[in-house]
């Protein structure tokens, strides 16, 4: 029994010494490569309005908000076009949408129930800031202000550095006597969601 035990220890010691020698040899042949200074920059969303439709996208012509139009004396069948240009001043593409925003306290006579908006693409080909023949494009559909608030309009992708020109056509259908003399104040906004 003693002889088996001595042999076992001798073989075990030999295996251990071989393992150590192999480990040293293996360790001497390893190497490493690495990438240094990886830079990650988060994109930006920066939606702007062109203050003057005939000027370009120079920083001095880009604003975050503008006064909305005012219309007095509207009647059944009334329409008015409001022209806008929205610019993606950010570094990433955006999904462009628009919603109406109002507080019922600013519309006590519920004028919103008889007002509609229908946006159209606008190709201001000559850059004069006016709609001329052939510049009105596709309609995005007509919605009541109440629907514009709840479901909005989707205008698709707006690439970085791209301008979206739109004709915002406001209108009324029939107006009941209860709406005569009533006034409502509304805001509308454009949202850009990063893609």
Q: What does the pLDDT average to over 60-64? A: 95
- Domain-embedded: residue 19: yes
pLDDT at 21 over 60: no
For residue 152, is pLDDT > 90? yes
Q: Residue 165: pLDDT band by 50, 70, 90 thresholds?
A: very high
User: Same structural domain for residues 135 and 182?
Assistant: yes
pLDDT higher than threshold 90 for residue 171: yes
Residues 2 and 72 in one domain: no
Asked whether the beta carbons of 9 and 56 are under 8 A apart, the reply is: no
Regarding whether 72 and 8 lie in a shared domain, the answer is: no
Asked if the structure places residue 37 within a domain, the reply is no
Which is more confidently placed, 32 or 50? Answer: 50
Q: Are residues 145 and 183 in the same domain?
A: yes
Query: Residue 26: which residues within 8 A CB-CB, separation 6 or more?
Result: none
What confidence score (pLDDT) does residue 76 get? 94
- The answer to whether residue 36 is domain-embedded is no
62 and 10 in a common domain: no
Determine the pLDDT at residue 103. 85
pLDDT higher than 60, residue 189? yes
The per-residue pLDDT for 7 is 61
Note the pLDDT tens digit of each residue in 138-149.
999 999 999 999
CA distance 33 to 27: 16
Pairing between β-strand 136-139 and β-strand 115-122 as defined by DSSP bridges: antiparallel
In a domain, 33, yes or no: no
In a domain, 41, yes or no: no
Q: Are residues 9 and 57 in the same domain?
A: no
Confidence check: pLDDT of 27 > 90:
no
> If pLDDT is split at 50, 70 and 90, which confidence band does 45 have?
confident
Shared-domain flag, residues 97 and 12: no
| Residue 146 and residue 83 share a domain | yes
Band (137; pLDDT cuts 50, 70, 90)? very high
DSSP sequence for 11-80: HHHHHHHHHHHHHHHHHTT-----------------EEEESSTTS-S-GGGEES--PPP---S--TT-EE
82 shares a domain with 15: no
CATH number for the domain including 89?
2.60.120
| Total tally of structural domains belonging to the chain | 2
Q: For position 151, what pLDDT does the model report?
A: 94
- Among 102, 115, 119, 117, residue whose Cα is nearest residue 74: 115
Model confidence pLDDT, tens digit, residues 172-184: 989 999 998 999 9
Same domain, 16 and 100: no
In the numeric block, which tokens belong to residue 16? 């251990």
Top-confidence residue, 2 or 118: 118
For residue 142, which of 171, 122, 111 has the smallest C-alpha distance?
171
Residue 156 resides in a domain = yes
Confidence of residue 22 (pLDDT cuts 50, 70, 90): low
On the question of pLDDT at 53 being above 80, the answer is yes
Residue 40 domain flag: no
Same domain, 91 and 18: no
Band of the pLDDT at 194, cuts 50, 70, 90? confident
Domain span at residue 19 reads 1-28
Whether 150 and 68 share a structural domain: yes
């Amino acid at each position: 029994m003693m002889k088996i035990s001595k042999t076992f220890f001798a073989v075990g010691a030999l295996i251990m010494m071989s393992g150590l020698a192999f480990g040293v040899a293996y360790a001497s042949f390893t190497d490493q490569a690495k990438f240094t200074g990886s830079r990650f920059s988060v994109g930006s969303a920066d939606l702007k309005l062109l203050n003057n439709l005939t000027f370009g996208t120079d920083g001095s012509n880009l604003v975050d908000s503008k006064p909305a139009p005012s219309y007095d004396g509207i009647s059944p069948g009334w329409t008015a076009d409001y022209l806008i240009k929205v610019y993606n001043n950010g570094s990433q593409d955006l999904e462009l949408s628009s919603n109406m925003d109002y507080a019922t306290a600013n519309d006590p006579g519920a004028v919103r129930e008889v007002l509609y908006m229908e946006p159209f693409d606008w190709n201001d080909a000559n850059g004069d800031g006016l709609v001329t023949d052939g510049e009105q494009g596709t309609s995005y559909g007509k919605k009541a202000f109440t629907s514009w608030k709840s479901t909005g309009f989707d205008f698709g992708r707006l690439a970085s550095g791209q301008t979206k020109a739109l004709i915002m056509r406001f209108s009324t259908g029939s107006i009941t006597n209860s709406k005569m003399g009533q006034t409502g104040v509304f805001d509308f906004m454009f949202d850009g969601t990063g893609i």
